[in-house]
Chains A and B, each alone.
Chain A
Amino acid sequence: MPPRPTMSIAATLAAHRKKTSIINKYQPIGQAGAATGGGGSAGNTTYSSSGTTISSGQTVAPPKRPLYTSSSQAPPTPAAKKPKPSTTTAPPESLPVYLDQVVSDATGSQVNACQYNTTGEYILTGGVDRTVRLWNPDTGFCIKTYEAHGWEVLDLAVSPENGKFASCGGDRTVFLWDVMSGMTIRRFTGHTQRINTVDFNEEGTVLASGSYDTTIRLWDCRSQLRAPIQILEEPKDSITSIKIKGSDLLAGSVDGSIRIYDIRMGTIITDQIFEPVTSVSFSKDGNCVLASSLDDTLRLMDRANGTMLNAYKGHTNNKYKIRSCLSNSDAYVLSGSEDGNIYIWDLLEGEVVHKVTAHSKIVSAIDYHPKQDRMCSASVDGSIKTWSTRPVGS
């Protein structure tokens, strides 16, 4: 069998893994290195950048076993049994599983979105109380409340320069806010149904919003154009999640597919996963796509060829939109759950590494700190919490 291009991804992820100094559970395999090298040199131009990453990683670390072993390879040598990760064992150091701060207790109303700003200093939350709130995650102080929405807030996006953020929700309008003044700068109207998700491009010049009306609209933040720059109408059902990375626009839809609009290449890549997709996110290197779907499963899809790299199960997610994310190192997969816990999987192994008992109700949103190993979570019960790698006080 020819080496699969996914191997380079796996190797990349493994390299990430190593970077984060996680216990190396993988024993070196002779062929794996070759295979990895083959994967890198397979001429897959898409991954040329990641190929360099691999080579550098290989100099430092023993070759990692690829995620996938093709049948043509020689059987791996027997090795010591890998310790089964379990929730009972101590979580890896880099996992933010200890409660850091209760930003907001469960007295508030349902929170739909929580989001770190790009520096991780603040948290923005939005919920059914029709407000967006800016919190200090360390003290739990509510710095500012942004009120303009007439309906619940469903999603937030912080502009890269942190000066603005966008919110959307039931009022079919994307609000572009000025963080300091608390006023809306622009209000983009055009969607005919509630807007589920919104995201900035990396320069903060374009806002993408996905709506229940099955369209994605791209709004220009620079000019005063009232009409959207473009309307993407390919999805057949409600758009639940949009992420933009580079020139890729990733959209998950209830129609059971993940779409990547590659603006640079001018192609739409549609990956069917046959289950309503509720949350999508890119891995940090942009080569993998993590998708939550309503069959209690998260899937890690290969952007290059649409194969599924891994599936993550164990949590409950079959009714609600629950956000998932990857850790900064791309080593872990995190997702909320309808049982109030936060589940953390090892990206490679697909096992639940840790289960954080977080909230009393559905964990609607989690977000990983952009720089540190922290995360914040918000729940339907109205509570907002932050988590760190160490218990408070230690």
Chain B
Amino acid sequence: MAANDILVVVGTPLPQPKKSSLAADSSRRPHPTRDLEASTALHGLVKDEHGRRRFHGAFTGGFSAGYYNTVGSSEGWTPSEFVSSRNNRSNIKSSRPEDFMDEEDKQMLSDATRITATDDFGASGSAQRDLERKRATAMNMQASGSVLGALSDNMIDDLIVPTSESIGARLLKRMGWKPGQGIGPRVSRQQRYSKANLSSDDNVPANVTFAPVDSAIIVFTNKSNHFGLGFNPHKDAPEFGVSAHAQSESRYLSGADSGVTRSKLGFGLLNDSEDDEDDDNVFGSGSNYRHQVRMEKDMDSAVSLNKRRKSSHGSIPSSNSKSASALMYCSDGRPPLTGFLLVAVKTQDPKWYTAPIVPSNFTPRHTFSSNGKTTSSTKQHGWSKLTADDRALVLGETPIDAPRRSVFEYISSENKNRLDGALGFVLDVEGEKHLRKDHWEVPTIEKSAAEAALQGFIPFSDDVSKQQRYKQYLNIQAGQSAEKIEMVQGFSGEDMNKELNEFKSQAAKAAEMGMFGPLTRSMADFYPNKLLCKRFNVADPHPEHKDVGPDTAKDLLDKATMDSMLMERSSARFSLSRETLVSTENEASSITGLLDDGTMPEMEQEQAGSPIQVPQERPPMDIFKAIFDDSDSGSDSDVDMDADASAITMAPSQLINPTSEAIAKEQDKGDVAVVTQMMENGLEGASAIPFRPIFTKRTNRPTRSPSPRAGSPNQAPKIDLRRLDDRARDEGSEAESDDAHIGPRLDLSEHRTTTKSAGRALSRKTSSTGADTHHHPSTDQEIGPGCFTLSSRSHNRDSSEEFIGPPVAPTGAMEYTFSTVEESGRSGQRRKEAEDRDHKARRESRSSKRHESLGSRKDESEHSRSRRSRSERSSGSHRRSLSVEYTASKSRRHTEVESNHSAASADSDEHEHLAEARRSDGSLSAWKSSKRARAADDRVGDRQDAESRSDRARKDRTSTRRHKDRRSRPNDRDGELDRGRSSSNRRHKHSRTEGEPSRRDGRDRDRTQGHSRDRHAKAREDEDDSDGVWVEKEVAGAWAEKESEAPDSADFAQAAVSSRSRPRAAAFF
């Protein structure tokens, strides 16, 4: 600022602001004085430490409330000092709220306090106090429940009279008033008490006067608001009603005795009494009002008061008290509403007029004249009678030439009259007729009704003549009789009418009754549930009725239901096994003539006597028991397998081969005692060679001398022969053509059998090879339930094979047959050779099987099965070449099954085995197979030596069992027959697999051990294998087979594995 600047300064100069006083020293505690100085200096405004002006509200100081925003003073706020109370105790005064109030607060406090008169001041105050005391007394009495208690509480209060009385009270006392008395001139006793009390106190002199009843003064308030009567605007918002309440409280007395008090109180007051919250509604107060009125009437107090007032007013003379009191009541005998007065001068009564006199002939309701005549009123107006035509006539109009409107207009007057007479009762035109004494009318009823009434109940049984008339009447009405009703003697027309009407009503009733019957009845079929019939002990009325409604509960006892359930189950099982078989089928291998053990002649002899049956069902349980009983001997039992399998699955498709064999046998040997032709249907396709199941007596068989016939047509390779042939062709030697897989063409049952038989064959093979023992020289006998004797075509040995199998020829079998035929046609020579082989193999297998079968245990069969399957797998090729073998093997199997006596023609068998093996191993080189076979043989030998190997052990078991069985169970044949019957097909598939001996042996062993270890164990564990288990096993077997499908190299590997696992397996044994 330059010095030469001229500054004009107006007003007080601003003080120099301290530098950053606000900003820098924000933490500094504001000093009121200093700030004051500053702010005062500036604006006289209060600021906080941040320099913001503090606003306290427009009405509480604005920006300058308090002492500059503090509670302090110019000296600052200082708390009261601590003062020890030790010495000056008395000086200590407790702090009151006022001590902490500033002047403003005190001002507000003083504004709030109002100066009011004390209770003692004024008459109303004393009265209120009295009432309060009374109320307290009453309450105490109520609470304590006894007068004494109440007294004891209030005695002192009663005794101690307040020293200061209101001036009014003092004045009243001067005037002679005493507390407890009413105010007013003394009254006579009559006036004092109500009439009821009068009688009790008669001895009081009449001139004695009494003080009036002390009653609260009724103060009537003007209704200054616009609310409805009894409406309390503060009911739900009491906070707004405080002032009003206080007002009313101050103005009115609240009663001690609510009833009485209320009765004294004005109507509007009722809402204010706080102890009657419940009544605080419009209706409640209404009832209170009523109550009040009644109370007043009873107590008569209001009246007296009014009386007094009136008398004091002097407007009504006292002599008129009676009329005055009368005036107090309204015309209905009630006192007027509070706040209302009855008028003194009555208004003039309205004028009453007497009711007009009703003429005596007046009837209060309108009646139509009974005779149909127009009433008088209508008579007066003549027009009603005139029709349009009449009017036209009257008017002289020319009538319109129109056709007449009614039929009656065509009728002559004569006839009209007659008609009127006839229809009179209906039209009721002639009313006069009724008046005539002798006239009567016949009421009509409908004809059908009359008939019905006649059918129904006939009343008037007590008056027969009347009943007769009734019937006559009905007959007439029904048109059944032409007579007329005549006047009954002694009857007036009236009587007749009466009776006839009665008849009519009776007839109607009877008709109603008669109505029920065929028309109202309907019948329908009712199909009671079977259970219901059972419960009601009645036969099913509709046995043919099958339909069961959806709503009705399913009949659990229904046989059909059960059957269907069973079917479901079995079919499911069947399908499962079927799958298994299919899977294994491809691997099923034909077994070329490794098995050549013929049946033992002795055994055959023994068996020969067995009955020839062809049961088709599962063999009885005891057979199974017999078979499965010893679990110790561990030979593989094909029979078991077969039996079980056949029992489990459907055995039907298994018989074709047996048939052919049987035929062959028959042809070959010609010594068949009994030939039963079976399954002709199944064989139809085989036109060239009829297959017939042949039953051969066992007795004949063993004696038969082996008559080898090569290439008997029946023995033609049966399954997959074509392929076999091809292979054979390709390889140039039948022996080596075994590779082909027969599978796909085989039907289910065949598959199944194949697998099993394969397994069996395996076992058999093993046994036969291993044990090398049992080659049955002569005949193959398969003893099945049906005792089919099938002549094996291969006749290296003469063997008559008895085939066991169900006589059912399934389609698969058919197919089989066909192929067989073809085969046979094609390659007789090959066949021959094969047959030879087969035969041997068969025999072998037979023997082994025999062992197995005889010693059949479940576990064994398990073994065999698995083995079989494996063998099948491995020997799929064999199958082909062994089409012949099939039969052979089949028969073999059967033979095994049946013939316990397996005369083990071992040697040749052995060779055969080898040969077969070599041959059968079509896919591999012959040497390989032979080698393997040899190896197998060796192994077998080893096995025999060392029992530790399971295979061997098994085989041993088998063999031993075989022997044992042979010895011990010569008659088992039958049971086995049964079993075998069903499983013949299987069996021959078996035999197929059996055809390849040694090689399979090896493989089998391995596989068996490798895969069926567990199965072994399992089989052992559950001797009573259920079907399901069987199936399971089969599956396992199939699996095993699959595995074994691996190339031969794999076989070796497997062998290794198996050899490793062998000990384990052996452990089972």
Interaction A to B? yes
Please measure, in the bound complex, the distance between the C-alpha atom of A106 and the C-alpha atom of B517, giving whole angstroms: 43
Indicate whether A218 sits within 8 Å of B551 (C-beta atoms), given known contacts A75-B467, A262-B526: no
Given A206, A234, A262, A305, which contacts B535 in the complex, CB threshold below 8 Å? Answer: A206
- CB of A6 to closest CB in B, whole Å: 9
The interface bits of chain A over 300-336 (1 if a CB of B lies within 8 angstroms of the residue's CB, else 0) are: 0100011110110000000000000000000000000
| Across-interface contacts of B539 in A (CB, < 8 A) | 264
Given A205, A263, A270, which contacts B522 in the complex, CB threshold below 8 Å? Answer: A270
Given A220, A265, A271, which contacts B520 in the complex, CB threshold below 8 Å? Answer: A271
Question: Is A68 in contact with B456, judged by CB distance below 8 angstroms?
Answer: yes
- CB of B919 to closest CB in A, whole Å: 68
Q: Within residues 499 to 540 of chain B, which ones have a CB less than 8 A from any CB in chain A?
A: 512-518, 520-529, 531-533, 535-540
Question: Is B541 in contact with A264, judged by CB distance below 8 angstroms?
Answer: yes
Question: Is B535 in contact with A267, judged by CB distance below 8 angstroms?
Answer: no
Q: Within residues 534 to 563 of chain B, which ones have a CB less than 8 A from any CB in chain A?
A: 535-542, 549, 551-553
Q: Within residues 221 to 276 of chain A, which ones have a CB less than 8 A from any CB in chain B?
A: 222, 225, 227-231, 233-234, 247, 261-274
| Across-interface contacts of B456 in A (CB, < 8 A) | 68, 307-308
- CB of B809 to closest CB in A, whole Å: 46
Given A267-B525, A306-B517, A306-B521, 19 more contacts at CB 8 Å? A71-B458, A71-B475, A77-B464, A82-B462, A203-B536, A206-B532, A218-B532, A220-B535, A247-B536, A261-B528, A268-B526, A269-B521, A270-B521, A272-B521, A299-B516, A305-B521, A306-B520, A308-B513, A308-B517
In the assembled complex, A76 has its CB within 8 A of some CB on chain B: yes
Question: Is B516 in contact with A273, judged by CB distance below 8 angstroms?
Answer: yes
Question: Is B536 in contact with A263, judged by CB distance below 8 angstroms?
Answer: yes
B513's closest neighbor in chain A, by CB?
A: A308
Indicate whether A231 sits within 8 Å of B538 (C-beta atoms), given known contacts A68-B456, A306-B521: no
- CB of B67 to closest CB in A, whole Å: 78
| Across-interface contacts of A201 in B (CB, < 8 A) | 535-536
User: What 9 pairs across the A-B complex have the smallest Cβ distances?
Assistant: A266-B541, A306-B521, A308-B516, A227-B553, A272-B520, A307-B517, A230-B529, A268-B526, A78-B464
- CB of A266 to closest CB in B, whole Å: 3
| Across-interface contacts of A76 in B (CB, < 8 A) | 461, 464, 467
Please measure, in the bound complex, the distance between the C-alpha atom of A22 and the C-alpha atom of B722, giving whole angstroms: 103
In the assembled complex, B384 has its CB within 8 A of some CB on chain A: no
- CB of B894 to closest CB in A, whole Å: 50
| Across-interface contacts of A136 in B (CB, < 8 A) | none
Question: Is A270 in contact with B523, judged by CB distance below 8 angstroms?
Answer: yes
Q: List 21 A-B contacts (CB under 8 A).
A: A69-B458, A78-B463, A82-B462, A203-B537, A228-B552, A229-B553, A230-B529, A263-B541, A264-B541, A267-B523, A267-B526, A270-B521, A270-B523, A272-B521, A273-B516, A306-B518, A307-B514, A307-B517, A308-B513, A310-B457, A311-B513
Please measure, in the bound complex, the distance between the C-alpha atom of A230 and the C-alpha atom of B463, giving whole angstroms: 53
Please measure, in the bound complex, the distance between the C-alpha atom of A69 and the C-alpha atom of B471, giving whole angstroms: 11
Interface centre among A71, A230, A231 (most CB of B within 10 A): A230
Please measure, in the bound complex, the distance between the C-alpha atom of A376 and the C-alpha atom of B542, giving whole angstroms: 41
Please measure, in the bound complex, the distance between the C-alpha atom of A192 and the C-alpha atom of B525, giving whole angstroms: 26
Number of residues on chain A facing chain B (CB within 8 A): 52
Binding site for A on B (CB under 8 A): 454-458, 461-465, 467-468, 471, 474-475, 512-518, 520-529, 531-533, 535-542, 549, 551-553
B537's closest neighbor in chain A, by CB?
A: A203
| Across-interface contacts of B531 in A (CB, < 8 A) | 220, 229-230
In the assembled complex, A23 has its CB within 8 A of some CB on chain B: no
Q: Within residues 42 to 68 of chain A, which ones have a CB less than 8 A from any CB in chain B?
A: 65, 67-68
- CB of B927 to closest CB in A, whole Å: 74
Please measure, in the bound complex, the distance between the C-alpha atom of A261 and the C-alpha atom of B535, giving whole angstroms: 15
The interface bits of chain A over 72-116 (1 if a CB of B lies within 8 angstroms of the residue's CB, else 0) are: 000111110110000000000000000000000000000000000
Indicate whether A81 sits within 8 Å of B462 (C-beta atoms), given known contacts A205-B535, A273-B516: yes
The interface bits of chain A over 190-202 (1 if a CB of B lies within 8 angstroms of the residue's CB, else 0) are: 0000000000010
Question: Is B516 in contact with A307, judged by CB distance below 8 angstroms?
Answer: yes
Question: Is B552 in contact with A230, judged by CB distance below 8 angstroms?
Answer: yes
| Across-interface contacts of A230 in B (CB, < 8 A) | 528-529, 531-532, 552-553
Interface centre among B465, B525, B537 (most CB of A within 10 A): B537
Given A206, A228, A308, which contacts B536 in the complex, CB threshold below 8 Å? Answer: A206
A349's closest neighbor in chain B, by CB?
A: B461
| Across-interface contacts of A82 in B (CB, < 8 A) | 461-462
B556's closest neighbor in chain A, by CB?
A: A225
| Across-interface contacts of B458 in A (CB, < 8 A) | 68-69, 71
B533's closest neighbor in chain A, by CB?
A: A263
Please measure, in the bound complex, the distance between the C-alpha atom of A262 and the C-alpha atom of B540, giving whole angstroms: 11
| Across-interface contacts of B468 in A (CB, < 8 A) | 75
Indicate whether A271 sits within 8 Å of B536 (C-beta atoms), given known contacts A75-B468, A231-B551: no
Please measure, in the bound complex, the distance between the C-alpha atom of A205 and the C-alpha atom of B475, giving whole angstroms: 53
- CB of B536 to closest CB in A, whole Å: 5
Question: Is B524 in contact with A270, judged by CB distance below 8 angstroms?
Answer: yes
| Across-interface contacts of B517 in A (CB, < 8 A) | 305-308
Question: Is A68 in contact with B541, judged by CB distance below 8 angstroms?
Answer: no
| Across-interface contacts of A263 in B (CB, < 8 A) | 526, 528, 532-533, 536, 538, 541
Please measure, in the bound complex, the distance between the C-alpha atom of A325 and the C-alpha atom of B533, giving whole angstroms: 28
A248's closest neighbor in chain B, by CB?
A: B536
Please measure, in the bound complex, the distance between the C-alpha atom of A224 and the C-alpha atom of B518, giving whole angstroms: 42
- CB of A268 to closest CB in B, whole Å: 4
Please measure, in the bound complex, the distance between the C-alpha atom of A225 and the C-alpha atom of B458, giving whole angstroms: 52
Please measure, in the bound complex, the distance between the C-alpha atom of A247 and the C-alpha atom of B533, giving whole angstroms: 9
Please measure, in the bound complex, the distance between the C-alpha atom of A268 and the C-alpha atom of B523, giving whole angstroms: 5
Please measure, in the bound complex, the distance between the C-alpha atom of A377 and the C-alpha atom of B1027, giving whole angstroms: 68
| Across-interface contacts of B551 in A (CB, < 8 A) | 231, 233
Question: Is A269 in contact with B523, judged by CB distance below 8 angstroms?
Answer: yes
Question: Is B516 in contact with A301, judged by CB distance below 8 angstroms?
Answer: yes
B516's closest neighbor in chain A, by CB?
A: A308
| Across-interface contacts of A264 in B (CB, < 8 A) | 536, 538-539, 541
B454's closest neighbor in chain A, by CB?
A: A71
| Across-interface contacts of A233 in B (CB, < 8 A) | 551
Please measure, in the bound complex, the distance between the C-alpha atom of A210 and the C-alpha atom of B1005, giving whole angstroms: 74
| Across-interface contacts of B533 in A (CB, < 8 A) | 263
Please measure, in the bound complex, the distance between the C-alpha atom of A222 and the C-alpha atom of B524, giving whole angstroms: 29
- CB of A349 to closest CB in B, whole Å: 9
Please measure, in the bound complex, the distance between the C-alpha atom of A305 and the C-alpha atom of B456, giving whole angstroms: 13
| Across-interface contacts of A220 in B (CB, < 8 A) | 531, 535
- CB of A148 to closest CB in B, whole Å: 25
| Across-interface contacts of B457 in A (CB, < 8 A) | 67-68, 310
- CB of B597 to closest CB in A, whole Å: 60
Indicate whether A266 sits within 8 Å of B542 (C-beta atoms), given known contacts A78-B464, A82-B462: yes
| Across-interface contacts of B537 in A (CB, < 8 A) | 203, 247
Please measure, in the bound complex, the distance between the C-alpha atom of A229 and the C-alpha atom of B455, giving whole angstroms: 42
Question: Is A266 in contact with B528, judged by CB distance below 8 angstroms?
Answer: yes
Indicate whether A266 sits within 8 Å of B553 (C-beta atoms), given known contacts A76-B461, A203-B537, A311-B513: no
Interface centre among B512, B528, B538, B540 (most CB of A within 10 A): B528
- CB of B548 to closest CB in A, whole Å: 10
| Across-interface contacts of B525 in A (CB, < 8 A) | 266-268
Question: Is A228 in contact with B553, judged by CB distance below 8 angstroms?
Answer: yes
- CB of B701 to closest CB in A, whole Å: 58
Given B467, B515, B529, which contacts A229 in the complex, CB threshold below 8 Å? Answer: B529
| Across-interface contacts of A218 in B (CB, < 8 A) | 529, 532
| Across-interface contacts of B540 in A (CB, < 8 A) | 266
A234's closest neighbor in chain B, by CB?
A: B524
Indicate whether A273 sits within 8 Å of B520 (C-beta atoms), given known contacts A71-B471, A218-B532, A231-B552: yes
Please measure, in the bound complex, the distance between the C-alpha atom of A363 and the C-alpha atom of B691, giving whole angstroms: 89
Please measure, in the bound complex, the distance between the C-alpha atom of A228 and the C-alpha atom of B532, giving whole angstroms: 10
| Across-interface contacts of B526 in A (CB, < 8 A) | 261-263, 266-268
Please measure, in the bound complex, the distance between the C-alpha atom of A256 and the C-alpha atom of B390, giving whole angstroms: 55
Question: Is B464 in contact with A267, judged by CB distance below 8 angstroms?
Answer: no
| Across-interface contacts of B536 in A (CB, < 8 A) | 201, 203, 206, 247, 263-264
Indicate whether A265 sits within 8 Å of B535 (C-beta atoms), given known contacts A76-B464, A229-B553, A311-B513: no
B459's closest neighbor in chain A, by CB?
A: A350
